[in-house]
Amino acid sequence: MLEALATQMAAPKLTEDALDELDRIVAEMATCDPAEGPALNYQFHTAIYAGAGRPRLAEIIDNLRKASASYLSMTVRHYDP
């Protein structure tokens, strides 16, 4: 819910430069080595949350993401399509 809130707050404030940066990250994610994906995903979401102009909200989200990162890593590592 916090991520959705931050995104909703950021969307109307994102500048053309910020949107260009998000596009660049998405393009890089499309062709990157799978090992680089999580870092680019983090970079993408962090850029959006920063756009909300609510540093405390971004910090809370970041702390929650870091706390859950090891669990996500285990899930991805054991995924076999």
Q: Structural domain tally of the chain? A: 1
What mean pLDDT value characterizes the chain?
A: 89
Domain assignment of residue 57, given as a range: 2-77
In which residue are the tokens 């870092």 written? Answer: 39
| Centroid of chain to Cα 62 | 9
pLDDT mean over 53-71: 91
Euclidean distance between CA atoms 38 and 13, whole angstroms: 25
What average pLDDT does range 5-27 have in this prediction? 97
Reported as a pLDDT band with limits 50, 70 and 90, residue 80 is: low
